[in-house]
Chains A and B, each alone.
Chain A
Amino acid sequence: MDLRFTETQEILKKMARDFLTTECPKTLVRKLEQSTEGYSPEVWKKMAELGWMGLIIPEEYGGMGYTFQDLVVLLEEIGRNILPGPLIPTITSTFPILEAGTEEQKKELLPKIAQGELILTTALLEGEGVFDASGINVKATPKGNDFVINGTKLFVEMAHVASHILCVTRTKDGASPEKGITLFIVDSKTPGISCEVMPTTAADKLCEVRFKDVSVPKKSILGKVDEGWPVVEMMLRKGAIAKCAESIGAIETCVEMTVAYSKERVQYERSIGSFQALQHKMADMWTTMETSRFLVYEVAWMESEGLPCAKEASMAKAYVNEVYKDVSKWAVRLHGAIATSADHDIPLYYRRSKAADIAFGNTDFHREIVAQKMGLV
């Protein structure tokens, strides 16, 4: 057992931190929140040069061939700087292609993803906003050599700039909601697709995507017809861990900023950090940060080793969801009025804690998975 980062991971971490400090100042974060695109194509291109979109893509498909653990190290840095944009949707949409894609699909898409030429996202949620298969009602019906997709997807991150959308559809009403789910890789320029950005807490460009008689060729089916749900579960699991990694970086920043500010800010002729009421709160923030961090590292290690970790991944997500909201809330509180201003950086984190909570399954969704896996009948 050795919980330290490997040398490769230390290098990756340092490179990411240096790059993001230079290329992603908070002025840019704010600008991108206000912009239509929600990401910077220039930064995206530079990130591609660093190999980030292809980090976990095997070398034979033009990627870097790094491990899932390494990805966690990178995402932690992304979270520190809250880089806006389609990196996480692209990477998490790559998981189903890697796992269920045909050789042809992999050869066609993966090298381009690694080069930063494509932006991917996954369209899962619909009107009910639930993460289980019962929420999937967008229909895909066979017609000749094609399938025709009809219905509306919601909360699809960065769909408005995506080149491809992984669409989770219902192709059959089966014995259980999990049966009859099929995934399609849809070119977002296909006629019949329209997209609208939803106003959200984190201004993270979640979209409504409407499919009206959208014809997609059979070769765009990802995995097996009617048996796509396990692929979605895998994506939710890996996506949950990825989101946790990003959250840890953000939590760490909230703790660091709060501690630093409390040492500078003087009231009653002393730094406010000298008051135990604040010290103990900061000790608690640090404690929950540390528990989150090592829980996520443990799960990332299991995922990397190919060990079954559905329970542990859900434990991590359910836990980190709450810690991020709590720590960023206390970061605002301990800063005082100053951090309730839109110009302050702490609210950027607080707002994202809600987005992070929901992405890839909220707390109650993951707790129910834990409840099942721990043997409750």
Chain B
Amino acid sequence: MDLALTDEQKGRKQEFYDVCKELEKRRPPKFLGFETIYEDDKCWEYNLHCAQEFAKKGWLALGWPPEHGGKGDMMDRVLFAEARGYYGIPGVDIFGVQMLAPTLLQAASEEIKKEFLPPIARGEVMWCELWSEPNAGSDLASLSTTAIKKGDEYVINGQKTWNTGAHRADWGFGVFKTDPAAKKHHNMTFILLDMKTPGITIRPIPYLDGHAPYCEVYFDDVHVPAKNIVGQEHEGWAVVNLLAGFERSGINEIMTMIRGLEDLVEFCNKTKRHGQPLARNPLVRNRLAEVACQLEAARALAYRVADLQNRNEMSLMDASAGKIFFSELGERFAFLATDILGPYGQVKTSRWAPLDGVWERIFHEHFITTVSMGTNEIQRNIIAWYGLGLPRMR
């Protein structure tokens, strides 16, 4: 057991932190966490600016093979995610950089890699995900949007939903039914498409707090070049599973919470209640300490996942456990923080809101982590079935 970083890693970590700390200073006033980039023009510009800064340093291609312009290794990715999480810096497209790029590297043809990887590394093209449908959520394989091959094109018809940032994205990747006669899991293809293709209609979906980071995307005879596929035709399910396997360790989200806790401690130290600092309230102390312990446990498990991924070892069970744990910790933390803030815990960003109203926002936003990327209930199935070897539901 050795958790030490090498001197080189320490140096790179410092650089990641320094750059993110600088970028934090340019944060627009409405920027309150990752989801806001999709909601506000200034926040989106900030996202693009950060992407450019990272691209210049080659940090959007961390861990890629050198022949595709890669730099550093998986551990650098973890350290970079840590720094971005701590300072809450966007600029790393979760769909393009974090999900699609590793999928392309493993499953795409050389031609596709050469066409699509460089713009991702340069931070030029932003992506969205086109997976879920109104009747295909956790049971994604039951999807019904079709992409029927006609000559050297696919023609797509149907509807996708819960597409985060689709209205901002340049390109989208998704799975579509290409062989409606074939059986489930062998009837779909993983397709890349330009979001400006005629026939695509994008409508924002108001999230429960009224903001709109999500969209639904309608396809009406959308023509896509047939060459833009990843993996084998009709075998897109394998690519979906591969992509889902690139679970993130969660370190980014955990570091954001650790920073949130630091800010909350400062707030409790300088805010007086009953004639003394809120920090002196034994209940506040106990409950904040409880969250701190759980955050440290979450961080330790994130390193475990990263350590396994570094050595290309199977991390499915730990990645699912990590996702369950840090996302539900996010819920508990949001409840606790808005509780500690008292009546102010309900105030949206305004002159009355403590800590820029960030906790009021997180009170709504935490569902994004528990529900997306495979609901936590699906993650529990993964642990039970693939990890503990319990009988699969039929």
Contact = CB atoms under 8 A, between A and B. Distances in A.
Interface of A: 1-6, 9, 69, 259, 262-263, 270-271, 273-274, 276, 279-280, 282-284, 286-288, 290-292, 294-295, 297-298, 300-302, 305, 312, 315-316, 318-319, 364, 367-368, 370-371, 374-377
B265 interface: yes
Given A6-B1, A318-B289, 13 more contacts: A1-B3, A282-B383, A282-B384, A283-B321, A283-B380, A291-B298, A294-B297, A295-B297, A295-B301, A312-B296, A319-B293, A375-B266, A377-B277
A302 B262 CA distance: 22
A291 B390 contact: no
Contacts of A287: 321, 324-325, 383
Given A262-B390, A276-B393, A280-B377, A375 B286 contact: no
A1 B265 contact: no
A319 B3 contact: no
B213 to A, nearest CB: 28
B336 interface: no
B265 A374 contact: yes
A286 B321 contact: yes
B288 interface: yes
B394 to A, nearest CB: 9
B304 A273 contact: no
B98 interface: no
B2 interface: yes
Nearest to A258: B388
B75 interface: yes
Contact of A273 (B294, B380, B391): B391
B383 A286 contact: yes
B289 A370 contact: yes
Given A283-B388, A286-B387, A291-B298, A367 B269 contact: no
Interface string B251-268: 000000000011001101
Main DSSP-derived SS at the A contact region? helix
A280 B385 CA distance: 10
A302 to B, nearest CB: 8
B15 interface: no
Contact of A368 (B289, B294, B320, B391): B289
A270 B393 CA distance: 12
A41 B318 CA distance: 41
A13 to B, nearest CB: 12
A100 B391 CA distance: 55
Contacts of B181: none
Interface string B44-76: 000000000000000000000000000000010
A288 B318 CA distance: 11
Interface in B267-298: 268-269, 277, 279-280, 284-286, 288-290, 292-294, 296-298
A259 B280 CA distance: 44
Contacts of B391: 263, 270-271, 273-274
Contacts of B285: 367-368, 371, 376
Contacts of B261: 374
Interface in B310-351: 310, 317-318, 320-321, 324-325
Contacts of A318: 289-290, 293
Contacts of A376: 265, 268-269, 279, 284-285, 288
B121 to A, nearest CB: 26
Nearest to B286: A367
A1 B288 contact: no
Contact of B292 (A3, A294, A370): A370
A318 to B, nearest CB: 5
A271 B268 CA distance: 51
B246 interface: no
Contacts of A69: 1
Main DSSP-derived SS at the B contact region? helix
B208 interface: no
Contact of A263 (B307, B317, B390): B390
A40 B390 CA distance: 38
Contacts of A292: 297
A274 B390 contact: yes
A259 B262 CA distance: 39
A297 B1 contact: yes
Interface centre among A263, A292, A375 (most CB of B within 10 A): A375
23 contacts: A1-B3, A1-B4, A3-B1, A274-B390, A276-B384, A280-B380, A283-B383, A283-B388, A286-B321, A286-B387, A291-B294, A291-B300, A294-B297, A295-B301, A297-B1, A305-B4, A318-B293, A364-B286, A370-B292, A370-B293, A371-B285, A376-B279, A377-B269
B11 to A, nearest CB: 15
Contact of B388 (A282, A302, A368, A377): A282
Contacts of B380: 279-280, 283-284
A286 B388 contact: yes
A290 B304 contact: yes
Interface centre among B268, B288, B300, B381 (most CB of A within 10 A): B300
Contacts of A316: 293, 296
Contact of B296 (A279, A288, A319): A319
Contact of B304 (A3, A286, A375): A3
B324 A374 contact: no
B292 A2 contact: no
Contacts of B297: 291-292, 294-295, 315, 319
Nearest to A323: B297
A298 B321 CA distance: 18
Contacts of A301: 1-3
Contacts of B268: 376
Contacts of B388: 259, 279, 282-283, 286
Nearest to B383: A283
B321 A291 contact: yes
B171 interface: no
A367 B293 contact: yes
A315 B296 CA distance: 7
Interface in B340-394: 377, 379-381, 383-385, 387-391, 393
A273 B392 CA distance: 9
